Amino acid sequence: MGSITSETNINYLELEDLNMDTSKTAESVRKRTLLETVFECITIVVHMLALGLTIFIIYLCFLDSSFNLRTWHVLLYTVGWFLLSAEGILFIMKDNIFSKRISPRWRSHGHWMIITLGIALTIAGFATIFASKTNHFTSVHGITGLTSGILGCITCLSGIPALFSAKLRRKIPPNWSKLCHAFFGTAAVILGVVALITAFYKNWFVSKTSDAVVVICLTITVIITCWTLLRPGLNMYNRAKSLFS
C-alpha cells in the first residue's frame, strides 16, 4: 500500500513538473509572438515613413518650373538610394509582413534585385548632377554621396558570393562572404544617409520647405535608418564574433 502511495506521489510530481514546463513554454511562445507582432508593426510604420518621405520629395521635384538635371538628380537619388535601399534591406527581414512568407532563398534574391535596381537609379542620378556642375566633390554632401555610391556598387558585387554562399562554400566561407557584404552595405547606407541629411540643408530643399519640415525629414530619416540597420548590424556582429572568437 505504501509503495502504491509512493508511486502515486512520484507520478503526481512528474505531472506537476510537466505542467510547469508546458506553462513556461506557452508563456515563452506568447512573449515571442507578441515581440514579433511589435516588430512587424514597427516595420510597417517604417515602410510608411519611407514611402511618405519619398512621395513628399517627389512632390517638391514637380514644384520646379523647369525639370532640370539637378531636379532629376534629387528624384533619382531619392527613389534609388533612399527608398529602394531601405526596401531592399527590409525585404530580407523576417519582420516584413510583405515578404515573410517567401522562402529565405527568394528573399535573398529579391533583396539583391531591389538593391541593384536602386544602385542603377543612383548611378543615373550621379550622372545627372555630374553633367549639371563643373565643380565636383567639394562639399560633405558630394564626397559622402560619391563614397556611398562606390560602396553601394561594391555591396552589389559582394552580394553575388553571399547570394550563392551554399554553392561557393568550398571556395569562400559563407560567414566571410556575408560579413563582407553586410559591412560594405552598412557603410554605404550610413554614408548615404549623411549625404541625404546634408541635402536637406541645400538651397534646393530649403527654398521649398521650412525649418520645421527639415527637422521632420531628418527625424524620419534617422528612424528609418536605425530600424533598417538594426538586424543587419546584429547579424554582422554575431558573424564577426564567431569568426574572430
At residue 165, the pLDDT reads 75
Query: Which pLDDT score, from 0 to 100, does residue 25 have?
Result: 64
Instruction: Decide if 128 contacts 76 (C-beta within 8 A).
Output: yes
Higher pLDDT: 1 or 67? It is 67
Strands, E assignment, the chain = none
Task: Please list, in sequence order, all residues whose beta carbon lies within 8 angstroms of the beta carbon of residue 42, skipping any fewer than 6 positions away.
Answer: 95, 227
Span 9-36, pLDDT tens digits: 545 555 455 455 555 565 656 667 888 8
pTM: 0.83
What span, in angstroms and rounded, lies between the C-alpha atoms of 166 and 111?
A: 17
Which of residues 239 and 165 earns the better pLDDT score? 239
According to the model, what pLDDT value does residue 30 have? Answer: 67
Q: Which cell is 163 given?
A: 547570394
Mean pLDDT over each residue of the chain, to the nearest integer: 87
Cα–Cα distances in angstroms (integers) from residue 8 to residues 17, 22, 71, in the given order: 14, 21, 82
Dist CA 70 CA 125 (whole Å): 9
Q: What is the 3-state secondary structure (H, E, C) of 11-64?
A: HHHHHHHHHHHHHHHHHHHHHHHHHHHHHHHHHHHHHHHHHHHHHHHHHHHCCC
Cα–Cα distance for residue pair 93/42, rounded to 1 Å = 12
Evaluated on CA atoms 193, 195, 200, 204, the torsion sign reads: negative
Beta-carbon contacts of residue 75 (< 8 Å; ≥ 6 apart): 57, 58, 61, 125
Eight-state DSSP code of residue 108: H
pLDDT at 3 over 90: no
- What is the pLDDT averaged over residues 43-70? 94
Amino acid 2: pLDDT = 47
Number of CB atoms found within 10 A of residue 110's CB: 16
Please give the domain boundaries of the chain with CATH numbers for all domains.
Answer: 49-244 (1.20.120.1770)
Tell me the one-letter amino acid at 169. R
Pairwise pLDDT comparison (114 vs 17), residue with the higher score: 114
- Tell me the per-residue pLDDT of 84-97, one tens digit each, with 9 for 90 and over: 999 999 999 988 99
With a CB cutoff of 8 Å and minimum separation 6, the contacts of 105 are none
Q: For the chain, give the percent of residues with pLDDT over 90.
A: 62
**What are 132-183's pLDDT values in tens digits?**
877 878 899 999 999 999 999 999 998 888 888 777 777 878 888 889 999 9
